[in-house]
Structure 1
Amino acid sequence: MWKKSVTLLLGYLLLFNCCVDADSRRSSDDSQDGCGIWDALPYMVVGGGLLAFGLPALGFTGVGIAANSLASTLMSWSAVMNGGGVPAGGIVATLQSLGAGAGTTALAGVGAKAGYEIHQNLVCQKKKCDD
């Protein structure tokens, strides 16, 4: 499973790289200012890894919330704070929905995209403001 996830993540990154590089060649010097795909790659890897492997590690698994995990503690706190039930649409319910419904590959893709957007919005915007 691990090899399949890594292979699909790398394939996604390579395909995404082809599209972004084609666009950046048209816009003269995007890769010169530190805002290209290769500069965003560490953010994409961390984002993909956190979503793909972070949720199951916290206890939000495909078969439910794991016993004696951080997720079960969060679920208990949420139930106590809300009078005995976990509210639909709350943070615990949302994380469990992501952990149960989305596959590892889908979560890795979403995390990689989120990492890319964070890089573009935080790092590149700061560089543009400084210029």
Structure 2
Amino acid sequence: MRQKVISIFLCYLLLYTCGGVEAHTRKDSEDSNSGFLEALPYVAAGGVALALGLPAVGFTAAGIAANSWASWLMSCSAVANGGGVPAGGLVATLQSLGATGGSTIMAKIGAFLGYVTYKHQKNQKSKEEE
């Protein structure tokens, strides 16, 4: 249920962000597309990076991998909290996402961040041209 709510919320944010874009009319044939193909590499790179990010740093379905960044983070969290990792903390949340297939949610977040990066760079270029 929680994953569905987060997915719907992220889709809403993505659609809300895309819906506020004004159409610009240009006479150049190369600039006449909607920008979808230009944004696609950013969206894909962001989605793949975050989807593969959790297992890469050690938050796997089998648990926290030994000698990984996740195990170091878990150790630091345990030392800071008197020997135990707090429920609902950063380490527990990331491990929960890694164990339950949270890579899908992370891919959606990454895709959204990729799109935001694309829009930011596009806005910077348009400001430089003015």
SS of equivalent to 2:31: helix
Larger CA Rg, structure 1 vs 2 = 2
Aligned residues: 109
User: Aligned in 2, Cα 1:56/1:127: closer, same or farther, shift over 3 Å?
Assistant: same
TM-score (normalizing by structure 1): 0.63
Q: How far apart in 2 are the matches of 1:32 and 1:83?
A: 59
For 1:77, the equivalent position in structure 2 comes to 76
Q: Percent identity?
A: 51
Equivalent positions of 1:1-131 (< 5 A) are 27-29=23-25, 32=31, 36-120=35-119, 122-130=120-128, 131=130
8 Å CA contact retained: 2:44, 2:111: yes
Aligned Cα root-mean-square deviation (Å): 3.3
More helix, by proportion: 1
User: Which structure 1 segments of 5+ residues have no match?
Assistant: 1-15
SS of equivalent to 1:32: coil
TM-score (normalizing by structure 2): 0.63
AA aligned to 1:95 is L
User: Which structure 2 segments of 5+ residues have no match?
Assistant: 1-13
